[in-house]
Structure 1
């Protein structure tokens, strides 16, 4: 009996020693005297900093103040500063367990800002810069959760429907890929109803793989109604020589609308220069109302703040731009 106790004590001591050794190794490799230079997340930011300073990105097609900041601070600290600055802003897409992500995603979080796609889970932190390279977001599949066990595929985990999502929720599997190499950088699931909010903060197109389709969502139907009302509004004539920039929301379409008070309601007086396309203003409009839990039946008659000056506006204040004919 004494021999068995001795063996047990030795085994316990060895286990404690292994844990202590592993903890000490992690401390040395990750913390690096409080600088975290060995942490995998810091290593990812170091790679991004190296890509920023490399010549292959000196002619990046996307130009923005944030990209200029990163080019002038090509270091992990500069990348971290950029991420921290945008993460603190209100304008971002966030999904986590209980809000957009299913229960098996416990502890995981997806955050999309104008310049970054951020994934975190426990000790894992993966930042993807939207301003560098040629990214693509692809919806590769859909599935329905009906309070039954369903497989996550790649993670080989099992999940049950989240009560906050309800039953019969259509989930879309999204992959963020490097379009040059074809490598998948990140894969995750979102409710199909969140796709338009997610798309709003992407710098790259969100496309559907061949054979993948979704029924029109509430937001998509609202965008159709939004566009119909905007087309009824009296357009603003602009000089033929006036150059219109790219929409700051999608960076692909040309600016096509301005926000000017045209209704008889209690809207504000927005004086911002035209910076958005019609669809991005519509998506912004829908995302603000969805976050405020406004009934969908009241969306067309509602008001939301301007994305830049915060003046309230309604659908009647969204005016199309029309070039004057001389």
Structure 2
């Protein structure tokens, strides 16, 4: 293989890694957002402005990659007759050279159009402008709301690949792509799981990973729908952050995590335990702060052995929901001994009294699915 071909392949691979950076490039900080971090500023401080600048820089970098190859040819001693090759060479080289010069010019023209009237015609600004409710608001007002919500710690960010990430704040669903940010407001959005595809991690193992394609459709006029593709393991986090239900058609089946499976079994098991009656006024579950407590620990198993690992009486008032208690119970078990989890014991999250699953009682007039 000639030196010219090796050089061309190297530049082609480098360009691909810039456009679609692999994990190694991301870890090393060799990505467009990392290399231009001083120009872009902070995403946390000004989310919308950051991504407007990022899309402009991304378009500029992408557009000069072919021209960079031509410049590298001139600078390299491997090619002594580059000018002759371009002027008198094949039609392919003439077209390639012309295109490499035209792309940066077209990119600069597009960037100029985006910057007119303080980025009013940028794709991100256009998307946000569709959510203005009256003439007294413009896209900057919407951007200010998104910036404020993005600064909060209760948002979730799921990176689907090196180029795309999904963000869910209190009121917004955002899909960040190389050249825009697709937006939907939770108040009028519907989410439907379109499909679930499973992939084997490697040929040497039977481990599988599953991805869900979820369509986000806005009820507002002229707002385009978009699809987010996330790992099934991130589905629960997204579902908890989204204020609206995510519709799962009957024909779509996806794997549940070990924790989700255990929570279901835990809740089904404690239904057969004796109920606990209380007239206390209860606050929100201190584990999730999203629902009322519906379980109480009381010694029912009949373990009177007196050993150090025997179950004990818990005097704490009901403060946990069944889901959080199940997750706490599972978190205290050996991760590689899943078959013994139900028969194992745990300690109360508050007073550390030891209990087993037979000691977990639903409150009277409540149900584990609540």
How far did 1:11 drift? 7.0
Change (3 A) 1:260 1:115: farther
Change (3 A) 1:3 1:176: closer
TM-score by length of 1: 0.55
1:309 corresponding residue in structure 2: none
Distance 1:78 1:304 in 2: 44
How far did 1:219 drift? 3.4
2:243 corresponding residue in structure 1: 203
Q: Secondary structure at the match of 1:190?
A: strand
- The correspondence for 2:129, drawn from 46, 54, 57, is 46
Unaligned 5+ segments in structure 1 are 55-72, 149-160, 271-275, 306-314
Distance 1:42 1:259 in 2: 48
Select the structure of larger CA radius of gyration.
2
2:139 corresponding residue in structure 1: 76
The answer (yes or no) to whether the contact 1:201–1:249 under 8 Å persists in 2 is no
Change (3 A) 1:189 1:177: same
2:259 counterpart of 1:219: yes
- The correspondence for 2:196, drawn from 118, 123, 142, is 142
The Cα offsets for residues 264-320 of structure 1, whole Å up to 9 and x where unpaired, read as: 99x9xx9xxxxx9x58xx379959x99xxx959699958999xxxxxxxxx999996
Worse overlay, 18-27 or 191-200: 18-27
Considering only aligned residues, what root-mean-square deviation do their CA atoms show, in Å?
5.2
How far did 1:17 drift? 5.3
2:152 counterpart of 1:89: yes
TM-score by length of 2: 0.49
1:57 corresponding residue in structure 2: none
1:291-310 to structure 2, matched below 5 A, reads 295=335, 301=346
1:119 corresponding residue in structure 2: 175
The Cα offsets for residues 172-226 of structure 1, whole Å up to 9 and x where unpaired, read as: 2221224699x97121322222221111011111121132223443233343326
Q: Secondary structure at the match of 2:235?
A: helix
| Greater percentage in strand | 1
| Greater percentage in helix | 2
Q: Secondary structure at the match of 1:80?
A: helix
Distance 1:322 1:186 in 2: 42
Change (3 A) 1:107 1:197: same
Distance 2:128 2:256 in 1: 38
Unaligned 5+ segments in structure 2 are 1-80, 299-311, 351-356
2:214 counterpart of 1:174: yes
Distance 1:218 1:226 in 2: 14
The answer (yes or no) to whether the contact 2:184–2:217 under 8 Å persists in 1 is no
Distance 2:255 2:98 in 1: 58
The answer (yes or no) to whether the contact 1:257–1:319 under 8 Å persists in 2 is no
Distance 2:361 2:143 in 1: 37
The Cα offsets for residues 75-103 of structure 1, whole Å up to 9 and x where unpaired, read as: 2122112211222222222211xxxx3xx
Q: Secondary structure at the match of 1:237?
A: coil
The answer (yes or no) to whether the contact 2:212–2:231 under 8 Å persists in 1 is yes
Q: Secondary structure at the match of 2:251?
A: coil
The answer (yes or no) to whether the contact 1:40–1:124 under 8 Å persists in 2 is yes
